[in-house]
A and B are shown apart, each in its own frame.
Chain A
């Protein structure tokens, strides 16, 4: 039965690839402008002026907008994670391909745990909006610090790895 499903889906391989690539584009780029031109300047201003109430107000607003904006990325990521294995299965790929093995190692070992944490920080227990609605301003401040630390530590790795994974997937060098 699974073989029948695979044969059926094989006819739509190119459409699966289209969906996969569209979702990858959204996942990679959707937060880039907000991050680079809104979040980073405000957070840098906050780090230089940590007690400035006006900067803190701006910081909080930008962070919550960023949390909401991450919903595009977080909608795209499950689509990537579903269509990716489908492409692998339907396309008849195997782990003998070096570029694919390396790509999957990065996806599973880096992107997946980072995204799980990102979901938590933006939408679930770590969501700043939730702390604000509860009036828990101490928790809010802790959540802001936590999210900033997360962005600091993951930014270099994510930016370089995302480009490298795209390079592997497109050029298939080995």
Chain B
């Protein structure tokens, strides 16, 4: 959706606001489609890894210790 917005927005700026014909070939549309497909796959895998849905966290270990966590006092209103 975002890539469509950028493609259409750029088309609008070039053709309507500036008054220059664009695109002059199919390459911008092809590049947008290819980049969208690549980005969608890359983003999906990025999100899944970030959310710990991929991998098992073998590089980390959990250590149970007692800590004091400083919190700001509630603001008086």
Contact = CB atoms under 8 A, between A and B. Distances in A.
A155 B51 CA distance: 11
A57 interface: yes
Interface of B: 2, 5-6, 9-10, 13-14, 17-18, 20, 39, 42-43, 46-47, 50-53, 56-57, 60, 62, 64, 69, 71-72, 74-75
Interface stretch (A13-21, A75-83, A95-103): A95-103
4 closest A-B pairs by beta carbon, nearest first, are A156-B43, A47-B52, A61-B69, A44-B52
12 contacts: A47-B51, A47-B52, A55-B62, A64-B71, A101-B14, A105-B6, A109-B6, A133-B75, A152-B51, A153-B47, A156-B46, A160-B39
A157 interface: yes
A105 B52 contact: no
B62 A45 contact: yes
Contacts of B52: 43-44, 47-48
A45 B57 contact: yes
B64 to A, nearest CB: 6
A57 B17 CA distance: 53
A52 B17 CA distance: 56
Contacts of B51: 44, 47, 148, 152
A136 to B, nearest CB: 13
A51 interface: no
B64 A54 contact: yes
B64 A109 contact: no
Contacts of A109: 2, 5-6, 9
Contact of A106 (B6, B57, B64, B71): B6
Interface string A84-108: 0000000000111010011001100
A49 interface: yes
A106 B71 CA distance: 37
Contact of B72 (A55, A101, A129, A153): A129
A98 B15 CA distance: 12
Given A57-B69, A152-B51, A156-B46, A44 B9 contact: no
A40 interface: yes
